[in-house]
Structure 1
Amino acid sequence: MGFDAWEPYQYMTVGNTVTGLDVELVRAIAAEMQCELNIVQGSWVELLGLLKEGEIDFVLGASITEDRQDFAYFSEPYRQEQFSLYVRADDVGLDVASIQAFINAGHKLGIVNEYYYGDEIAELYASAKFRPQFVGAIISEMNMARLLDEEIDGFLEDSFVAASILRRKGLDELIKPHHITLGNNDVYVMFSKASVEEELVAEFNRGLAAIKQNGLYQQIVLRYQD
């Protein structure tokens, strides 16, 4: 399993234990399948490369894209995510109604390389007109630093992830969510076609259905909503 630090979904505790909402859900499914997990840590870009080569079998927290379907299978969706625009506290009242309006006004937008933020952002990023307004980073913390250094004017991040990181780093008074949010997207486990048979994905889906049916799924999710 590929692991990309993304608290509260995937993270390392002070005792060097890998945990988080996604990790706990997959551990519960693996127990249903009577499988053991071996964990490989890397950035999202590194993990995608390893997945393509079959050097890791799956990663968590993935979105389906046409490109990825060439080299990966996808589980049934196991949760949803919503990305929000984050800005400096002084800019919370910025009068823009959409991401397109934000970048149209000349603002630079921080994103994490190879993350999928939905069709709207993918189309803007593919546009020669708007591409220069996007600034890529390896991890979200880099976007936060760039925002405070005024190298970018805002960044996109999952609402739970941003709240967790900002609170932990003591930046929650300096960086605030703008009212612009993107629509909810389904999130999947992504399996390598180079190392995983489709039947294993079907077995994983049966395990996911089982923990939803026996109540374990809801128990885990509720722990992270408190």
Structure 2
Amino acid sequence: MKTIIVVFAVLLLSTFNTQACNKTFEVGTNENYWPPYVELKNGVLSGIEINVIKTLFKGSPFCLKFSVLPSSLRAQEELKQGRIDIMFAATKTKKRSKFAYFSQSYRDEVMLLYKNTLSPNLSSIEQLFSQGFSIAVNRGSYYGAHFEQLKKAYPKQVVLISTADKRFEMLNKQRVDFVIEDALSGLFF
């Protein structure tokens, strides 16, 4: 008799769970360790960005399913193809606006240039490129029109790396000279 009650309770709970969601939105991220924004521990994503998304949907008839993708460029393509429904921490551009809707800005991001202790001090990003130094950036991120021009002019010096932990690992191993990264996340690395 106990087995039947447990099975009935499980069936009853699963029925409530399916009725609680009118739709499940697939949320894509490329980061699994981008503190304080995203952190994957024991198969569960947490952090500021995850909390923002969960807070926005709390009490709604919609459920969320988070997926970690290989890069933000891949996440953009998945969004474009309709295989994910939501991305976060993406800059609005004319090109991206052709396939995605953007919310109002929910935070200001400050990007900083980080250097290896053995790399020289520079006075401008142009100096970095003109002196032949390398820079690691997030694959798929947008750092403004000026940086896009520099990227085209000096493609061999721009190293596209999908995650912040790998960018800083490359910097620490002196495989790149500089990294562009969010100020808060950079503090962790």
TM-score, structure 1 as length reference: 0.65
Write out aligned runs for 1:167-178 (5 A): none
Give the letter for the 2:169 counterpart: A
Query: Would you say 1:137 and 2:153 are equivalent positions?
Result: no
Query: Would you say 1:62 and 2:59 are equivalent positions?
Result: no
> 2-side partners of 1:76 and 1:8: how far apart?
21
Q: Of 99, 114, 122, which aligns to 2:125? A: 99
Runs of 5+ unmatched residues, structure 2: 1-26
Q: For residue 90 of structure 1, give the secondary structure of its aligned residue in structure 2.
A: coil
Give the letter for the 2:124 counterpart: S
RMSD: 1.7
Partner of 2:182: 158
Contact 1:9 1:23 in 2 (8 A): yes
Q: For residue 62 of structure 2, give the secondary structure of its aligned residue in structure 1.
A: coil
Contact 1:4 1:11 in 2 (8 A): no
Aligned length in residues = 160
Runs of 5+ unmatched residues, structure 1: 167-226
TM-score, structure 2 as length reference: 0.77
Q: Of 138, 142, 146, which aligns to 1:116? A: 142
Give the letter for the 1:38 counterpart: K
Query: Would you say 1:17 and 2:41 are equivalent positions?
Result: no
| 1:82 Cα deviation from its structure 2 partner | 1.0
Q: Deviations over 1:164-184 (max 9, x none)?
A: 2x2xxxxxxxxxxxxxxxxxx
> 2-side partners of 1:55 and 1:163: how far apart?
33
Among all aligned residue pairs of Structure 1 and Structure 2, give the percentage whose two residues are the same amino acid: 23
Partner of 1:79: 107
| 1:95 Cα deviation from its structure 2 partner | 3.6
Q: For residue 89 of structure 1, give the secondary structure of its aligned residue in structure 2.
A: coil
> 1-side partners of 2:92 and 2:59: how far apart?
25
Contact 1:109 1:134 in 2 (8 A): yes
| 1:75 Cα deviation from its structure 2 partner | 0.6
| 1:32 Cα deviation from its structure 2 partner | 5.0
